[in-house]
Structure 1
C-alpha cells in the first residue's frame, strides 16, 4: 500500500477531525495516510517522513534541493496544501524527478467570503465601533455602505471571480485588473476590465488576488495608494508582499484612505512591533481566509485525489512542473 504523509495543520479538535476523515478517505482509495504536523517546521523530520512515504502534503515552508535530493528515491509527489508555491524550488524538484502540485480552487469560497468580510468590516468601521462598546465611549463612527459601490478586483482567477459572484447581491460595479485577462469570464461576471491606475482611482473598495511573483511585489505601493479615494478601503487575502506595508501604514495613519483589512503579511506571524497594530482603521486576521471546515476538507480531499490520480498514471493538470519526469 502506498503512503501519503501530511505536514499541514496543528493538533486541535478541528484538525484531528479533518485528519481522521482524510485517513479514512485515503484508505478508501488504497493509501496509507499519516499526519505529521510540523509545529514548528523541522526540516530533518520532514526529510525522514518523506523517505518513508510515496507522497507528501506540504505547507508554506521552503522546499528546495536539500530536501528533494534526500527524498527523491521515495516520494515522487508533493502537493501544496493551498495554492501559493513561491517557496517551492520547482527547478530543483524537476531535477530530482519530483512532481509538485497544488490544490487549485479548493479554498475558493472560503477566501472569497473572507475578502468580502474584510471589505464590509473596513467600510462599516467595525474595529473602531467595537472599541466604542469596549471602552464605553459611545462616539459612533459612521462608515459607508458597500451596496451600489464600485469594487476593484486585482487578479481575476478563481477567487476573484467568486468574489465578483458574491458581490452581485450588493449591486456593485465591478472593475477588474488582470495582466492575463480572461475576457469571457470578465464579461460573464458583468465586470469591466480596466488599468491599474483606474482601479485605484475609481474604486470604493479594492481586493487583492494576484499571485505573488517578482512582477507583483508591492503592486500596492505608495504611488497607487495615493490615487485612492479618502473613503475607499483595500483588503488583501493573497500574499503579504503584494502590499507595501510601510506605505499602507502611512496612508491609514494620515487618513488618506478610510481603512484596510489584511489576512496576510510580509512577515508571519506579524511582529508585535509592527506599526500596523497601532492603527484603529485596519482589520487584522492571522492568515485564516481558507480556514473554514468546508474549505479545509475540500483541500484535503483534493490533495488525496491528486495523489491517487498520479499513482494511477493519470497525471494531473494541477502539477506545476510538468517536466518532472524528464529527470
Structure 2
C-alpha cells in the first residue's frame, strides 16, 4: 500500500456504538479516515452497497459473513481485520485469491469462561425469574439447585473448557469431559475425568459446550444425546449455536425432558423476534455477550489499529491469509 494513498477504513458491526470511544483511533489519521457503522448484518446486495467504497474493513467476530460472493463485489477492499485470530464467517481462501489480506487480533481469555460460569449460576439458582418476580412484587418463586457434589460435563476441553473446569472444581463439582480429540491423559492434566460421549450426556448435571464449530461438530448435540440426559440436567452453550441441534433442544425443553438451558449463541443472530428461545420459561438467553466486555473490545480495537498501521507500512502482522 502506498503511504500516499489515503485509506477509507470502515469499523463495522459496532452494534452498541462504543468503538469510537473505547480506544484512540486518531493514530490512523495520517493514513486515512475511519468510519463507524452500526447496522446489523444484511443480505449480500445491501452489504455490497454499504461496504464497496472501503479499502480496509474491521469486523467484529462473526457478525457479518464475508463469503466469496460478497468479497468479489468489494473491489476496493485490500485489508480485512477481524477481532480474534479465527473467524468462520470469512472465506479466507477467497480473500487470498482476490488479493485481500486478512489479519486478526488478540482476545481476552477470561471473558467467555466467566460468562459461562455466570450462566451456570444464574440457571441453577433461577436468578432471572427470582429477580423479575421481586421487581414485580413477588417473593421466592422456586427452589434452586446446589452445585457442590454435582457433575459438570464439558463438551470440548480447550482453553475455555479448561478454565470452566477450574471454576467448577472450586465449587466442589466433579468434572468430566469428552471430545473427539480428547485423551484421558490430557483431561487428567486439568483434573478432569475423560469419559465417552454417551457417558458425558448421561452423567452431567450441567453440560457446558465449548467445541469449535466445524462440519464435524455441527449438530453434535442431537436429539439422541439430549435424550440421554437426566430430567434435572441443564445445558449451557457459549460456543456456537449450530453445535446443538436447535429443533431437538427446543423439543426437549418444551417437553421438560431436561430442566433448562442457558444460551448465549444461536443458529441465527440476532435471534429473530418470536423465536421460542425468547419465550420458553426454562431458557435463559443472552445476546452473544461472551466476548462483549470492555477489556475484550479495547484489546480488539487497539490491535486492529496496530494491524492497519503495520500493513500500511508494508510490515503486516497477525495475518490469517
TM-score normalised over the length of structure 1: 0.82
Q: Which residue matches 2:49?
A: 44
Q: Give me the whole-angstrom Cα distance separating, in 2, the residues matched to 1:166 and 1:305.
A: 34
Report the equivalent of 2:188.
187
Aligned position for 1:289: 290
Change (3 A) 1:71 1:280: closer
1:201-212 matches, within 5 Å, as 201-212=202-213
SS at match of 1:215: coil
Structure 2 unaligned residues grouped into runs of 5+? 42-46
Q: Does structure 1 residue 90 correspond to structure 2 residue 92?
A: yes
**Partner-residue secondary structure (3-state), 1:35:** strand
**TM-score, normalised via structure 2 length:** 0.83
Change (3 A) 1:136 1:212: same
- Counterpart position of 1:228: 229
Give the equivalent residue in structure 1 for 2:44.
none
Conservation of the 8 A alpha-carbon contact between 1:84 and 1:211: no
SS of equivalent residue, structure 1 residue 216:
coil
Deviations 1:287-324 (A, max 9, x none): 112111111112223333444555666665x5444xxx
Structure 1 residue matching 2:208: 3-state secondary structure: strand
Residue aligning to 1:270: 271
Report the Cα offset of residue 226 of structure 1: 0.9
Equivalent pair of 1:102/1:320 in contact (CA under 8 Å): yes
* Alignment RMSD: 2.8
The one-character-per-residue Cα deviations of 1:22-45 (angstroms, maximum 9, x if unpaired) are: 414657xx7656132141443323
Mapping of 1:70-149 within 5 angstroms?
71=74, 75-82=77-84, 85-103=87-105, 106-138=107-139, 140-149=141-150
The number of residues matched between the two structures is: 309
Q: Secondary structure at the match of 1:201?
A: helix
Cα displacement (A) at 1:134: 4.5
Q: Any idea what the Cα deviations from partners look like across 1:147-182, whole Å, max 9, x if unmatched?
A: 333212222232222322333421222222233338
2:216 partner SS: helix
Q: What's the counterpart of residue 65 of structure 1? A: 68
Q: Any gaps of 5 or more consecutive residues in structure 1?
A: 322-327
